[in-house]
């Protein structure tokens, strides 16, 4: 009888722990992390291995430096935040009053660079920018980024715009004790 009772209690304990971990897992996957949003399997499942690596790098290192060309032909670089990957596109957000918006509207070519937090890798992406006026994308940006929501308010703010990179190329360069050089070169 004691053996049965112990087995019964252990079974209940296992069920309880399993259900608690499932609830915690659901909360973690639906609650955005303050440093980077969790990547859902759906966002990456259709990507080839190289594009998965690029997108994961961006999610882990969201602050990037993006360069564009000013009207007078001089380069202009600024820090901008990667927003998310959706529908085969790498999305960023800007403001129609910002110089980057004016520059990219006139000449939609850009290059960006981001470094890993441990400073052993850097990602470079070159490509053409396409602006997209899509309220669902803007709403996603606002819901995942409280600071952007504080600045712009709602998705009805006409200055808030989304853009993505097309005809792009990417390189990941590693400089660690084991590897020094380009470990990924990819085009889309």
> pLDDT of 94-147, one tens digit each?
999 999 999 999 999 999 999 999 999 999 999 999 999 899 999 999 999 998
Collapsed DSSP state (helix, strand, coil) of residue 115: strand
16 in the same domain as 72 = no
98 in the same domain as 134 = yes
Separation CA 136–CA 53 (nearest Å): 26
Please give the full DSSP string across 28-46, using - where no structure is assigned: HHHS--SSSPPPPHHHHTT
23 in the same domain as 77 = no
Mean predicted confidence (pLDDT) in 19-27: 36
Number of CB atoms found within 10 A of residue 6's CB: 10
112 in the same domain as 41 = yes
179 in the same domain as 90 = yes
Q: For residue range 45-79, list pLDDT tens digits in order.
A: 788 999 999 999 999 999 999 999 999 999 999 99
CATH classification of the domain holding 152: 2.30.110.10
48 in the same domain as 25 = no
Q: For residue range 155-171, list pLDDT tens digits in order.
A: 778 899 999 999 999 99
pTM > 0.85: yes or no: no
Q: How confident is the model at residue 43 (pLDDT cuts 50, 70, 90)?
A: low
144 in the same domain as 72 = yes
Separation CA 70–CA 98 (nearest Å): 12
Separation CA 110–CA 125 (nearest Å): 8
Res. 38: pLDDT tops 90: no
52 in the same domain as 6 = no
Q: Are 139 and 155 in contact (CB under 8 A)?
A: yes
Residue 144 burial class via C-beta count within 10 angstroms: exposed 0-12, middle 13-18, buried 19 and up: middle
The whole-number pLDDT of residue 180 equals 94
Separation CA 182–CA 4 (nearest Å): 61
58 in the same domain as 20 = no
Domain of 53, in residue numbers: 35-187
């Amino acid at each position: 009888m004691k053996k049965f009772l112990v087995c019964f209690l252990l079974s209940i304990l296992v069920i309880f722990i399993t259900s608690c971990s499932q609830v915690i897992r659901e909360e973690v996957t639906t609650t955005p992390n303050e440093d980077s949003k969790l990547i859902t399997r759906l966002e990456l499942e259709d990507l080839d291995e190289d594009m998965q690596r690029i997108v994961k790098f961006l999610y882990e290192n969201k602050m990037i430096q993006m360069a564009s060309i000013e009207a007078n032909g001089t380069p202009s670089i600024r820090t901008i935040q990667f927003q998310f990957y959706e529908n085969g596109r790498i999305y960023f957000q800007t403001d129609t009053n910002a110089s980057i918006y004016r520059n990219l509207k006139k000449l939609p070519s850009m290059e960006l660079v981001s470094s890993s937090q441990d400073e052993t890798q850097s990602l470079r992406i070159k490509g053409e920018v396409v602006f997209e006026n899509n309220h669902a994308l803007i709403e996603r940006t606002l819901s995942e980024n409280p600071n952007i929501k504080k600045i712009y308010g709602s998705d009805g703010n006409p200055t808030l715009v989304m853009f993505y990179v097309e005809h792009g190329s990417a390189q990941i360069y590693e400089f660690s004790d084991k590897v020094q050089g380009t470990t990924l070169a990819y085009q889309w």
